[in-house]
């Protein structure tokens, strides 16, 4: 089977032709604004101008004729509306003219599948980093699910915006990378990780405020080290959460060598593997659209023309995956977590847990030591606060700069237990979790990593653990992130019980009212999927 794919979600217009065995041709042309960022209508006009040329050139270079093509695929979303509509129109015309089936595909999944196709990765956690997208994606039960993402802007957009503030033209990311190589001093900047989510707006604002006060090279260096450390941390957290041992890097920012080096350091220390497609397949491209289209068509997913309307906010987990994704082996048992390693032992005859925040070699010393000390102190303080408000947590036995020795809770982790329980038992657990969340938020405390992986069930009672990213005197936004993080991780990890999630919100609403829940919906609405 031969499929021609057309990419056009944002600044790049791309055309690729693939077979079941290889990428035959992959061509693209990027829209580069004279000043500022991407103007959607101008980008769409660019695509309309270059798409016919790219299609002709694709056939010329491949030695194929239009009659050889068995199907047409196009990027249906997520993306900029005018750009998506332009390439969709082109795809429809080709499909009608050639008399071959058409299929619209999800741009994010296309990155993942072309990565699996060209690297040999089987069941990876994908770190997808581009202009508008920053997501942690992995396969679970017939769908690719989003386990974490940016709470505000994509990493590529952040770097491009910073470059513009420095007077550097679009695209600014590659130039920021070159400046960073000449950096000599680390400038402390906000480090914002919430579970498997990240936020770049505070980092961006702080960096802009340093322009004119610090060397541009040092600002670029500091931004990269901070932002990339955040990305690697959430990727490692996803590996731990999912028990996987493969990382696939994708998106335009995937070409950054420093990010690659940091991921390589993290995966090597875990005994995991890092997979990176060729540069031309990391960026937005037509070949990835063609290959995902080929998979969809092979599995009977051809579309009627009336079903090819573009979807600007096309969520990754909206797509059913009809092909088999082979579950890869779990990481060896003693692989470190994203935060720490856990050692079992005794403390003066009491069964105990020693939580050790080991140095992470992917982070520079200035960031690593600060995070480890701050998180250790913060966790100890918050554990004490939680006891005072009546939430069950382990008792602290001892504390050192990077270590906490605490009570061993002899129970079952809720994340490993939940999927095997009946709906009625899950409902009771969800009500209990909602009560814990409400009690915590009434005290103005946000957990920061509020997932079932940080809950232990013992004798019918839930203990909350891992408060390293918790916040005291938390504002409404931070508390809403707790709820959103719980919802997102529950949908991804406990999809068999996804219909029971309203039970959690119903009980939380009874105790806390609507205000924080409304903030959750606001967060969802402003997240950037394009």
- Judged by DSSP in three states, 397 sits in strand
407, with CB counted inside 10 A (0-12, 13-18, 19+), is middle
Among residues 378, 503, 509, the alpha carbon closest in space to that of 447 is found at 378
123 a catalytic residue? no
Distance, in Å, from the CA atom of 149 to the CA atom of 231, rounded to the nearest integer, reads 9
172's CB contacts (< 8 A; 6+ apart) are: 159, 160, 161, 162, 163, 164, 166
At residue 410, φ and ψ (nearest 5 deg) are: -85, 85
- 492, 399 Cβ separation under 8 angstroms: no
Round to whole Å and give the CA distance between 496 and 13: 39
DSSP string over 208-260: HHHBTTB-HHHHHHHHHHHHHHHHHHHHHHHHHHHT--EEEEESGGGG-HHHH
Measured distance CA(95)–CA(87) in Å, rounded: 12
Proportion of the chain in helix, strand, coil states, percent, rounded to 5: 50, 20, 30
CA distance to 6, 28, 73, 435, 525, per residue, from 505 (Å):
41, 46, 40, 10, 18
Q: What is the CA radius of gyration of the chain?
A: 24
Q: Which tokens in the block code for residue 28?
A: 């693209």
Q: State how far the Cα of 324 lies from the Cα of 333, in Å rounded to an integer.
A: 26
**Residue of 123, 284, 317, 449 marked catalytic:** 449
Nearest alpha-carbon partner for 100 in 17, 24, 18, 3: 3
The alpha carbon of residue 175 and the mean position of all alpha carbons in its chain are separated, in whole angstroms, by 24
- Of 318, 306, 490, 500, which Cα lies nearest the Cα of 415? 490
Strand partners, 247: 125, 274
Structure tokens at 310: 């573009």
- Residues designated as active site: 449
């Amino acid at each position: 089977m031969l499929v021609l794919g057309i990419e056009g979600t944002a600044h790049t217009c791309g055309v690729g032709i693939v077979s079941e065995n290889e990428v035959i041709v992959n061509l693209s042309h990027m829209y580069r604004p004279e000043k500022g960022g991407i103007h959607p209508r101008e980008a769409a006009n660019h695509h309309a101008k270059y798409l016919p040329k790219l299609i002709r050139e694709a056939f010329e270079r491949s030695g194929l004729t239009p009659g050889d093509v068995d199907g047409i695929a196009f990027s249906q979303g997520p993306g900029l509306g005018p750009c998506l509509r332009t390439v969709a129109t082109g795809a429809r015309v080709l499909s009608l003219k050639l008399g071959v089936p058409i299929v619209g595909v999800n741009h994010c999944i296309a990155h993942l599948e072309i990565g699996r196709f060209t690297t040999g990765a089987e069941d990876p956690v994908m770190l997808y980093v581009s202009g508008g997208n920053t997501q942690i994606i992995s396969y679970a039960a017939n769908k690719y699910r989003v386990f974490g993402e940016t709470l505000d802007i994509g990493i590529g957009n952040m770097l491009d915006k910073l470059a513009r503030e420095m007077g550097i033209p679009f695209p600014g990311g590659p130039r920021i990378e070159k400046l960073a190589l000449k950096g000599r001093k680390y400038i402390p900047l906000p480090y914002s990780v919430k579970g498997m989510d990240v936020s770049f707006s505070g980092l961006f604002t702080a960096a802009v405020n340093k322009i004119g006060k610090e060397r541009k090279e040092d600002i670029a260096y500091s931004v990269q080290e901070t932002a990339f450390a955040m990305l690697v941390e959430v990727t490692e957290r996803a590996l731990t959460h999912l028990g996987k041992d493969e990382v696939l890097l994708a998106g335009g920012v995937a070409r950054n060598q420093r990010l690659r080096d940091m991921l390589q350091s993290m995966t090597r220390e875990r005994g995991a593997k890092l997979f990176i497609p060729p540069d031309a397949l990391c960026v937005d491209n037509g070949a990835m659209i063609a290959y995902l289209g080929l998979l969809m068509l092979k599995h009977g997913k051809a579309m009627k023309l009336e079903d090819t309307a573009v979807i600007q906010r096309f969520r990754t987990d909206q797509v059913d995956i009809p092909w088999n994704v082979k579950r890869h082996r779990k990481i060896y048992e003693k692989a470190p977590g994203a935060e720490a390693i856990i050692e079992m032992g005794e403390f003066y005859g009491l069964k105990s847990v020693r939580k050790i925040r080991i140095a992470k070699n992917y982070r520079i010393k200035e960031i690593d030591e600060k995070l480890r000390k701050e998180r250790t102190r913060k966790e100890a303080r918050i554990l004490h606060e939680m006891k005072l408000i009546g939430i069950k947590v382990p008792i602290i036995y001892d504390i050192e700069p990077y270590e906490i020795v605490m009570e061993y809770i002899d129970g079952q982790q809720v994340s490993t237990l939940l999927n095997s329980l009946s709906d009625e038992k899950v409902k009771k657990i969800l009500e209990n979790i909602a009560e814990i969340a409400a009690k915590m938020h009434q005290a103005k405390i946000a957990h920061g990593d509020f997932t079932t992986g940080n809950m232990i069930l013992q004798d019918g009672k839930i203990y909350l653990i891992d408060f390293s990213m918790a916040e005291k005197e938390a504002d409404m936004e931070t508390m809403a992130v707790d709820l959103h993080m719980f919802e997102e991780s529950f949908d991804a990890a406990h999809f068999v019980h996804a219909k029971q999630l309203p039970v959690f919100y119903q009980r939380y609403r009874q105790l806390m009212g609507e205000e924080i829940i409304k903030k959750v919906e606001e967060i969802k609405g402003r997240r950037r999927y394009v």
